[in-house]
Amino acid sequence: MYNNRVDFEVLKGKTIVDIKNNGDAEIIFKLDNGERYLMHHDQDCCEHVYIEDIIGDLNDLLNTPILLAEEVSNTELPMLECSDESYTWTFYKLGTIKGYVTIRWYGSSNGYYSESVNLEKINYKEN
């Protein structure tokens, strides 16, 4: 979509001032310096990647520096649908002095398509 992919760890040390959770498809992080980051998956024909759960309170991430920004993937946890030929759990862990949040993404496919989640910097700053 925006083709400005960055590592999730780029959020460490930054301060988030707003989070928009758009259902199970994407999250937008707005920073105090006006930068915005979009967390999503570019859907293709033969896979499904979505936010399965958010553990913790997203408000704990607001207005204080991010101390932890970590991505962990796992293909050994149980699959959600028995018809999935390939699947990946990806956990995005964020923490501040106020608390921790884990965003759990689940991706499944026929094995030939990506199950990954992207973090992209949106190309404009807002004053």
Q: What tens digit of pLDDT does each residue of 89-99 get?
A: 899 999 999 99
Between CA 42 and CA 20 the distance in angstroms is 18
Q: What tens digit of pLDDT does each residue of 59-86 get?
A: 999 999 999 999 998 766 666 665 567 8
Between CA 50 and CA 104 the distance in angstroms is 9
pTM metric for this prediction = 0.85
Cβ pair 87, 97 in contact under 8 A: no
- 45, HSE (Cβ side, Cα atoms, 13 Å): 1
Percent of the chain with pLDDT over 90: 59
